[in-house]
Amino acid sequence: MALRAMLCGIVVGMLVSVYREGIEAGTRAAQWGYAVVARNPWWLVAWAFGLIGVAAIVAFLVRWEPMAGGSGIPQVEGVALRGMRMRWWRVLLVRYAGGLLCGMFGLSLGREGPSIQIGAASSQAVSRAMGRRGIESNYLMTAGAAAGLSAAFNAPLSGMMFALEEVHRSFSPMILLSATAASLSADFVSKYWFGLTPVLNFTRLSQLSLPEYLWMLPLGVVAGLVGSLINRMLLGFQTMYSRVPATARIGIALAIALPVGIWLPMVLGGGEELIGFAEKATSGIGFLVILLVAKMLFTSTSFGSGVPGGIFMPILASGTLAGSIMGLVAVHAGVPQEHVAVFAVCAMAGTLAASVKAPVTSILLTVEMSGTLVHMLPVTACAFVALLVSDLLHISPIYSALLDRYVQAHPDDGTALRRDSAGRASGNAVMEFAVEAGSPVAGRALSDVSWPSGAAIVDIRRGDDEIVPTSTTVVEAGDYLLVMFPATHLAQVRSDMAPLCGASD
């Protein structure tokens, strides 16, 4: 498994590095192009024809392969958790073609979600080429998703944790093994391609004094509010766009990029340049507020149109801006100016945690991207305060909400793992479920549990042992149950197994 995962990681690392290079080149081209249009207005004619053509092409690509639209992370979770089907070659084609075309217009989209789906799709292709099927293919696909995040951010630890916390949503030794092997090999390829410098390179952060840690409370509240507002805006604009034809809404998103590119070129693209600017905070609070509002609105109009592109980096950029604003407020209250960068890094993690509801991944990602472990405590404090604010506001995790919307719009993608020649669902599926301490099945014999209809426990993994189950086998906390069931029952079985294996309230 480790060797197969390493092979997947190498393939993912190369594919994501190419995608990452293309997106960065597209953003630079967009900034140059809008500067040319600003100096020579007659270039608007060429830009308008380009907009119409790109909007038509991207709309066609997304209709052809709907699973390649939007972020990509919800779709990967749907494949891993709900048995949705992913046509890997279509996904890769649309991700590259659509993503690079939109990148040339500078839309406020991140490379991270698409990189994760590119990793999952390419790993699915590799696993099939090696003859892997069923649950092992699912492991390798999840490992590929982890490798995609690792290569996108040069963050292997975050990739491993992302596979457990966000994609698989439970701890599994096999997931950890495969995700670790894939993430490290993908990170090696990415570092060989882009160098050893951290993505954001916050390597000269000052150390907060203990009394200054109290600022993490209001900073976490602000980060939580920003993350919650981003979720509301992303979903709200997606709802508004749903009333507009696909080509028109993509054209609207591309058209909005023109004034943004002319007057606020830093807001274009994912937001790495914006993060670097916010870290130094050389401007006043007013200009940072303008950039924050513009970035949130531009991200919402870009992503809501349904084009292939992610929201990970735009969320991080928005959080960094909010942190810099709070840092400048703190400077007026006596905090040293050099601490503004620390506020920016902490708010970055807090905003992501409030939006995605994956706090451990958010903390590790921020630490890896900033290149320092010194600020683990304030980053953690800010992230969990922001998460609390988001919970109090009853904000749903953004990727879960997007997945629910995708399933509602494309119900056929979530009904089966395999189909027969008539297009009907067929065959069996196998999934793994972790038994948590305090769950209803812990300490009970298999025969004493009312398992979902059509489901059978075919294997129990307990530590290093594999147990062939019988009716008298007692399930223990920490076991991993391999459950076989008809593919058509996947959604129902997963829904019924969750309360059986999860800890009781």
Instruction: Give the CA distances from residue 370 to residues 160, 198, 279, 287, 380, in Å, rounded to whole numbers and listed in that order.
Output: 18, 6, 11, 24, 14
| pLDDT attached to residue 415 | 44
Contact 279, 320 (CB under 8 A): yes
Length of the chain: 505
Q: Could you tell me the two tokens for 427?
A: 């065959």
CA atoms of 75 and 92, how far apart (whole Å): 13
Centre a 10 Å sphere on the Cβ of residue 372 and count the other Cβ atoms it contains. 18
SS3 484: strand
| pLDDT attached to residue 275 | 87
DSSP 265: G
| pLDDT attached to residue 416 | 41
Q: Could you tell me the two tokens for 285?
A: 């609070």
**pTM score, whole prediction:** 0.86
CA atoms of 162 and 32, how far apart (whole Å): 35
Instruction: Give the CA distances from residue 381 to residues 75, 208, 223, 359, 371, in Å, rounded to whole numbers and listed in that order.
Output: 31, 13, 12, 10, 18
CA atoms of 467 and 268, how far apart (whole Å): 55
CA atoms of 168 and 52, how far apart (whole Å): 40
Contact 444, 451 (CB under 8 A): no
| pLDDT attached to residue 201 | 63
| pLDDT attached to residue 436 | 84
pLDDT, averaged per 10 consecutive residues of the chain (505 residues), comes to: 92 95 92 91 91 94 92 87 83 94 92 91 90 78 92 87 78 83 94 80 71 92 96 95 92 94 92 85 87 96 93 93 94 88 92 93 84 79 96 93 87 51 54 84 91 89 86 90 80 82 72
In sequence order, the 6+-apart residues with CB closer than 8 A to the CB of 51 are 105, 251, 254, 255
| pLDDT attached to residue 89 | 92
| pLDDT attached to residue 422 | 41
| pLDDT attached to residue 425 | 45
Within 13 A of 326's CA, how many CA atoms are on the CB side? Answer: 30
DSSP 165: I
| pLDDT attached to residue 1 | 85
